Chains A and B, each alone.
Chain A
Amino acid sequence: MVEKVRVRATLNGEPVDFLVAPYVSLLDTLRDELGLTGTKEGCNDGNCGACTVNLDGRIVDSCCVLGAEIDGSTVETIEGMAEPGKLHPLQQTFLEEAALQCGICTPGFLIAAKALLDKEPHPSENRIRFWLAGNLCRCTGYDKIVKAVQKAAELA
């Protein structure tokens, strides 16, 4: 057995301290070691964005980062997006605009869209489409996702 690595990080605003084998991806670390299954696997090779999380202010495909790499970092996942009892505006507009069908890509889109609006509160439609091009959705045709992001930007 390979020796596990100790990792201390901030996850959704709370300190975490855990052991993980050095070859385990951040995606599997979140899902299997830390019990946060809201982050989804679509391809496990960095091409669909379903596993998008925010790592130190940047969005990454968590399947392409090792769990051991987040030592000392701050990670935000879908589970940390809403405040208790109150959805993030993007979560609310995704619901109002019917911006999800099966929902498997939704956590990744929400994390990616939040990173955009945190950086640029009023992006153009083309900017939204460009920013979200790393997240695949096969159900919606993206139309309602783009509109939900636009609506959340208007509310801000």
Chain B
Amino acid sequence: MTRKHSRTSISSTGNSRRGFLKLAALSGLAVAAPFAIRRAAAELTAYDGPYFVLIHASGGWDPVYLCDPKTNPELNRLYGAPASAGSIKYAPVPISAAALGLGADADPYLMSNQAFFEKYAAKLTVINGIDTSTNNHDSGTRTTWSGQIQEGHPSFGALAAAIRSPDNPLAYISSGGYDATQGIVPLTRMGDLDTLQKVAFPDIISPDDPESGRYLPKSRMDRIREANAERLGAQLEGQRLPRAKTAMNELFLARADDNALAGLSFPDDLVTLPGYELSDLQSMMQQSQLALSAFQAGLAVSVNLNLGGFDTHGNHDRDQIRQLAKLLYGVDFLMSEAEKLGLGGQLTVIVSSDFARGPGYNGGDEYAGKDHWPITSAMMMGAGIPGDRLIGSTDDQQYAQPHKGATLTPAHVHRSLRALAGISDHELALRFPLAGEDLGLFS
């Protein structure tokens, strides 16, 4: 793995289009904000946390082989008794790259449950027995990350970003999972390092070359942007169809302070892992690096990360375990990098999946899979999350057991997440109400 992480910071050298909105205001233009709470002429201030990373194990993971261990042989054929780290029980599944169909060079990039829970149990809250009430991937992903099974709610990441720092150009970054915004905040996807630098410094010919000049001097670029803003303002004033008006507004606001991108402090290089079979993990890790850069620059509030391959209807014992081991390595990488950057204290990480698998195998041979099962788990750690805490449970057949008299649902989890983020009573959150009561899961 290549892990050069000394950071290159490129000074903005005055690459500012910050005045865009000011120009709009001077020209008498009223910018109609497309996003409900956006302050059209606000000056951007760097966002300094808390930061949220939402990690989706796409396809439906199996908590029996992670954080909700079972001794029932119909459900578990990979380990004997559950193991414990503090108050948290886990499944002590042995890991080896060869057994998981990977080359030996993959071994360093797989993390066993034992290693993960021993390292992080003191920081973890594990919630078992969450009833998603669906076996459907789309509905499950939606309810896990929005708290509502029906369409119409934004993801938690979008909601937190929209409330916490709505004017920030990178407030909500996603590389997959459920990232519906319902129009309350722009969604950003990130690319690779070189292109990000070019986009952050569009007026500089070669941002990676300190000697590189500009296409045109700054004063002339300012004049061009002034003309551009005036023209867009005139277009907006003359436009009456709502779709076009919204598009013009979005363009206006997207340009409003893209100087902020210049604050990104990029890693010198992104992680590379050996072999195609680890490309999904590599992608997750690279996205983690870029997400942390965005946090560090005060540009982002929430980030969705995604790792696929959990829909193991066949060959469950190999494929599910392999993906879980990658997932834990990826989470560990994120936490470690965040610590190095001094972001650990502000970072809240939530890991979950569409639903679960089970309650048993769908066949008798070693290649059998597990089908969809609505009772799932979630793991959280970081800022505001109590450590060494286990909430909820399932019985020996993987049915949910009541917690404080209630069957836990994603709505309960999201009520507590909103409370944790301090956004429960915000006008925007109230527009997207959640069912059930607040169980204070993180208090």
A complexed with B? no
- Partner-A contacts on B (CB < 8 A): none
